[in-house]
Structure 1
Amino acid sequence: MTPRTIPALIEKAKQTYADRPAIVDGSTTLTYTGLADAAAAAARAFLAGGVRSGDRVAIWAPNRWEFPVAVLGAQTIGATVVPLNTRYRGHEAREILDRSRATALVTVNGFLGTDYVQMLRDAGPLPEHLLTIVDLARETSDSALGSVIGWDEFLAKGREISDERFEAAKATVTPDTLADLLFTSGTTGKPKGVMSAQRQTIGVGDVWARGAKLTPEDRYAIVNPFFHGFGYKAGFIAAFTSGATIYPIPTYDPTQTLKLIQDEQITVLPGAPTIFTTLINHPDLKAYDLSSLRFAIAGAASVPESLFADMRDILGIDEVKGAYGLTECLVATTTRPGEDPAHVAKVVGPAVEGLEIRTVNAASDDTEPGEDGEVWIRGDAVMLGYFENPDATAEAIDENGWLHTGDVGFLDEHGCLKITDRIKDMFTVGGFNVYPAEVENTLAGHPGIVEAAVVGVSDARLGQVGKAFVVVRDDDLTPDTIAAWLKDRLANYKQPRAYVLVDSLPRNASGKVLKTDLRETSK
C-alpha cells in the first residue's frame, strides 16, 4: 500500500529501493538511501532557518536534483511547498511570496542569466516574513547578497538541530497536512493558490505511476517544470512511489534531449505536444537511437490528430497516451491502455481511479453522450480549495463536491472525455459560439501548418471574430491560401477573419499557449 505522508513515502522508498538510483542529474547521482538522507538534511536545515510546521517554503528554481530534495525536506517537517514559475519577474514572485507569507525561499541566482534575488529587491523591500533565502548556485553565503545563504552552508546549519527536535517536527505530519500551494498559471485570470494535502499529492503520483506502469527499471526524463504539477506530482513524486530513476532537464533543447534519450536509455518521456513535434521534425532525428522509449503522454486539450501516430511510428514509442487535468485536479483522465493512436488523438480517456466526471449544461443537467457541456469532476484528488480565498473556492466547488472546471467537453459512449475548449476562451460571432480548439485542430490538419492559436477580437458588426496566429513549416503558405483551404472545412462564422504568421506561439513554462498575450497584441 502506498504511504499517505511524505515522511512515510521517503522511508518506504529507502527501505524498498535502497541503492537503486533515484535521481541522476549530470555528474550527481542520488540513490534512494541518499535521497532520504538528503531530504532529512534539508528538513533539519529548514528548522534551523526558522521554518516551522504549517509554514510555507517557496522554491524558485529549474529542474535540478536539489529541487525534489528541498520539497521533500520541507514536507518532512510539515511545511507547505510553494513552487514559483522560473519565468516570473520580481513583482510576480513578490506577490506570491506575500500572499503565501513564505518564511523561506530556495532559488538559483543566475539561472539563464537571471538575478532572481535582485529582481525581488527591485520589487521592494524583502518581506519581513521571509527569514531565509537559499541560493543553490553557491556553496556559501555572499556578503554582497545580504541575507542570501549558499546551499552547503544552509545544510551545515541543519546539523545543529537535535534528533529530538527533528522527530518532533516529523510527528506533526499527517495525511491531511497541507503539502503544497500550486498557483494557477494565470492564462485566464489572476493566479490562485491551489491547496492539496500530502495524501492527495502522493495519490496523484501513485495514480499516474500505475497508469504509466512505472517500475524501478524505468528511467524517466522530466522536461516538464518541477514547479508545475506535471513535473512535480506526475513527475518526481510518481517516480518515487515506484522506485523509478528521474533525469531532470532544466531547459529543453531538442538535440540535447535526443542525446539524453540515447545515452541514458530513457524509457519514459511525458511532455507538452510541442516537445514531441520538435523531436519528430528534428533534422538529425535518424542519427539517434530512441529504441529505449516505451511510454509517453502528450498532455493537452488541443493536439494535432497525427501526433500520437507519429510518436509511435516516427519516434518509436511503444505506448502513447493522452491525458487531461488542471491545477485543481492534476490527473483527471488518461486514455486506456493499448488505445489506437487515432482514438487517443480524439479523446483524453475516462476518469482515473477515484474520480467521477460529468458534463453538464447551463441548467446543471447531464448532457447526452457526444453533447458538449461543462466538465465537472469529483473525488479525492480534487483540491481542498484556494488558499485564503473562500469565495473563489465556493465558486469552483459546489456543495456536493463537484469541481466546475470551466472546460467544455463531452463524454462518448465509452465514457471517454473529449475536451473541446475552455469556457473562458469561447467567443461569440454574430450570436454563434465559437470554440477556438475546434478551429485550431482543423488548421493543424493542414500539412504545411505546425500549430495555430485562435482568439476572439472585437468586431463592430459581429461583436467578435476570430484571429489566428499560425506557425507554418511551408514558406509558400500565406494568410490567403490558408483561408482558402479552411473555407470548405468549417462554417463561415468559425472562420478567422485575420491570420498572423509567427515563428512560435507564446507559452508559459508548462507549455500552455498564452492567449492573454495574443489578445493583448490584437488590441
Structure 2
Amino acid sequence: MNEQVARAPTNPRKIWIQSYPPGVPEEIAPLAHRSLGQLFEDSCARYGDRPAFTSMGKSLTFRQLEAESSKIAAWLQAKGLEKGDRVAVMLPNVLQNPVIVYGILRAGLVVVNVNPLYTPRELEYQLKDSGAKALFLLENFAGTAQQVLPATAVKHVVVATMGDMLGLKGHIVNLVVRKVKKLVPAWSLPGHSSFKAVLTKGAKTAARPVDVGPHDVAFLQYTGGTTGISKGAILTHANLLANKEQMGTWLETAFLNKPRPEQLQFLCALPLYHIFALTVNSLMGVATGSHNLLIANPRDIPAFVKDLQKNPVHIFPGLNTLFTALMNNADFQKLDHSSLLLVFGGGMSVQRPVAERWLAMTGCPITEGYGLSETSPVATANRLDAKEFSGMIGLPVSSTEIAIRDDDGHDVDLGNVGEICIRGPQVMAGYWNRPDETAKVMTADGFFRSGDMGYMDRQGYVKIVDRKKDMILVSGFNVYPNEVEEVAAMHPGVLECAAVGIADPNSGEAVKLFVVKKDPDLTEADLKAHCAANLTNYKRPRIIEFRDQLPKSNVGKILRRELR
C-alpha cells in the first residue's frame, strides 16, 4: 500500500477516509446531469468520432451510437409508450444492446434487463412482474418468448439478429448462426418488428424530449431476495449517476502509477444485463469517452483470446471463473499483457491462488470491489494504485457509509463480525411493488442490509467472511435455494427437497439438491431434465443426493445449514 499522510475524516465514524488515495474526496460533487440520457447525449457530442463499442470486428462511434439510439427512442414514442413505461431487453453483448438501452432511457422509459438464457417460466415471471409493455430480443431466444408472451402485458416485440449491425459481414454471421451452428430454433411471433425495420421507421421521425429527473426510475434490475422471489431493484437515474461519479473519482487513482492513455480500452466480457457490466463497462465507458470491446460469448475461450490478440485492453472487469478459464488457455499465456492497467474482480470472491497466478502471468494485480444490484452496484473498492491482491473488498467509496451490525441492529466493534450494511446515494429506491420486502432490507436510518457477514479493520477495510442468507453465488449470479426447491418440488416424484451451495473450483459455488423421493423410481437424470426445463443453467443442481429424510427443526423447517 502506498505511504501517505493519514487524513482525518470530518465524521469520526468514517475511519476509512484515512486510507483514501490522494485526490479522492470524502463526498462526491453534486451531480452534473439530471438523467442518464442527458449524460449520454453530452458524451456523444463530446467524443463524436471515437469508437464507443466494438463487436465481432465492427465498431460504432459515439456519433453513430447517438444517431442509432435516437431512432429507437423515436420508434418507442411513436408506438405510444410514455414516460415510466417498462421495456424489457433480452440481449447478449452485441452492438444492438447499448443502442437499445440508451434509446429506451432517452425516451424517458425504464429498462428491464433480462437474462437471454432464461427459461419460459423465468421470463414470464419477470415480464409480468415488471409490467413490461415492449420487449427487444435476439432471434436465438424468440422461441422462449413465443411460449409466454400471450400471458404478459407486452404489446410490442422487436427481434434482432446477430448480424444486424455488422454490415455485409452480418449476412455471413447470420448464415453461420442459423444454418451451421443451428443456434436459432424455429419460432413464430405474429406482429413482431425486426430490429432493422425499427431503425428505418425511427429515422423518419424525431424523438420528443422528455423531462426526466434524478429521482425517476432508470432500471428495474432483477435480483433474488431473502425470500428467493426474484424482485426488481428500483435504480433511479440519481443512483446510477452517483455510482458513476463514485467510480470516476476512484478511477483517477489508477493513473498514479501509470500514465492515462488517450482513450481507455475496456474489455466487456461480463453480460451487459448484469449490474456489474452495466455500470462498470457501459455507463463508465460512455461517461469517460472510453471504448468497450464486447464479447458476445465469453465461454468460447479460443475466440475470446483471438479478440484480445487484436484488441489490447487497459481495463478488465471480470470474475474469478473467467480469470481461471483464460489462464488455462495456452494462447492467453502467450499474450502481451503490458497494456493492462486495471483488472477488477467482482460478482464473487476472487480466490487468492487465482489472484497470485494472475499477477505472475500478467503483471497486473486483481483489485477486488464489492456491491450488489441494490447498490448500483459499487459500494466498496480497494485502492487502484495497489500493487498486490489484498483479499479484502476494500474501502467504502466516496459518499458511502458501511456499518457492521449485529442481529439487533447495533454497530459492532472494529474487527468483530456482523452484517454489512450500506448507506449512500447509490442505494436503490426499494423493490418494485414489494414494500414488504423493501422493509426487510432497509433500516430506519437508511442503511441497506446486504445479508453478507463481514468485519472492518482499523484502516477501514472490509472483509467478507460468510453470508447470512442461504443464497448461493454461482459465477457471480445469485441463486436462491427457495426457487430451486420450488421447481424441484413441481416434479411429481419429489416428496421433499432442499438446495444448498457447495464449493466448486470453477464457479465458486454450485447448487447441490437433497431429495426425498415420493416415487421410488425417480432418477437423478429425470430430475435434472425437469430442472433444465425450468431453470437457467447457473441455477440448476449440479449434484443431486437422494436421502430417506432431511434434517428439520422442532417446528418442521428443513435445516439447510446442517445439510451444508
TM-score, normalization by structure 2: 0.72
What is the CA-CA distance between 1:389 and the residue it aligns to? 0.7
Unaligned segments of structure 1, at least 5 residues: 111-115, 427-435, 441-452, 456-463, 473-505
Q: Is residue 402–residue 423 contact of structure 2 (8 Å, CA) maintained in 1?
A: yes
Once residues 499 and 83 of structure 2 are traced to their aligned partners in structure 1, the CA distance between those partners, rounded to angstroms, is 52
Once residues 500 and 93 of structure 2 are traced to their aligned partners in structure 1, the CA distance between those partners, rounded to angstroms, is 37
Paired position in structure 2 for 1:409? 454
1:190 aligns with 2:235: no
What do residues 15-57 of structure 1 show as CA deviations (whole Å, max 9, x unaligned)? 3211111111124221111111111111001112332111000
1:113-512 correspondence runs (5 A): 116-123=141-148, 125-127=150-152, 129-137=153-161, 144-161=188-205, 163=206, 166-167=207-208, 170-185=209-224, 189-213=228-252, 217-252=263-298, 253-317=300-364, 319-329=365-375, 330-342=377-389, 344-345=390-391, 347-425=392-470, 468-471=502-505
Residue identity in the other structure for 1:247: L
Comparing both chains, which one has the higher relative contact order based on Cα–Cα distances under 8 Å and sequence gaps of 6 or more? 2
Once residues 397 and 368 of structure 2 are traced to their aligned partners in structure 1, the CA distance between those partners, rounded to angstroms, is 12
What do residues 142-186 of structure 1 show as CA deviations (whole Å, max 9, x unaligned)? 99531221111112222343x4xx33xx23211222100000057
Q: Is residue 49–residue 131 contact of structure 1 (8 Å, CA) maintained in 2?
A: no
Q: Is residue 276–residue 347 contact of structure 2 (8 Å, CA) maintained in 1?
A: no
Q: Is residue 320–residue 348 contact of structure 2 (8 Å, CA) maintained in 1?
A: no
What is the CA-CA distance between 1:266 and the residue it aligns to? 1.3
Identical pairs, percent:
27
Distance change in 2, residues 1:3/1:124 (3 Å): closer
What is the CA-CA distance between 1:216 and the residue it aligns to? 5.3
Once residues 428 and 293 of structure 2 are traced to their aligned partners in structure 1, the CA distance between those partners, rounded to angstroms, is 28
Q: Is residue 160–residue 195 contact of structure 2 (8 Å, CA) maintained in 1?
A: yes
Residue identity in the other structure for 1:125: P
What do residues 350-395 of structure 1 show as CA deviations (whole Å, max 9, x unaligned)? 1011110011112222112221100110011000000011111111
Once residues 501 and 388 of structure 2 are traced to their aligned partners in structure 1, the CA distance between those partners, rounded to angstroms, is 30
What do residues 246-297 of structure 1 show as CA deviations (whole Å, max 9, x unaligned)? 1111111322232222211111111111111112222333332222222111
Once residues 418 and 397 of structure 1 are traced to their aligned partners in structure 2, the CA distance between those partners, rounded to angstroms, is 21
Q: Which is worse superposed, 308-317 or 99-108? A: 308-317
Paired position in structure 1 for 2:107? 77
Q: Secondary structure at the match of 1:302?
A: coil
Once residues 400 and 231 of structure 2 are traced to their aligned partners in structure 1, the CA distance between those partners, rounded to angstroms, is 23
Residue identity in the other structure for 1:133: V
What is the CA-CA distance between 1:335 and the residue it aligns to? 0.5
* Paired positions, count: 439
What is the CA-CA distance between 1:519 and the residue it aligns to? 7.9
Once residues 544 and 434 of structure 2 are traced to their aligned partners in structure 1, the CA distance between those partners, rounded to angstroms, is 28
What do residues 288-329 of structure 1 show as CA deviations (whole Å, max 9, x unaligned)? 222222211111453221232322221232x53101111111
Q: Secondary structure at the match of 2:41?
A: helix
Q: Is residue 216–residue 244 contact of structure 1 (8 Å, CA) maintained in 2?
A: no
Residue identity in the other structure for 2:105: Q
Distance change in 2, residues 1:519/1:211 (3 Å): farther
Paired position in structure 2 for 1:497? none
Moved segments of 4+, more than 6 Å: 464-467
Q: Is residue 258–residue 290 contact of structure 1 (8 Å, CA) maintained in 2?
A: no
What is the CA-CA distance between 1:470 and the residue it aligns to? 4.6
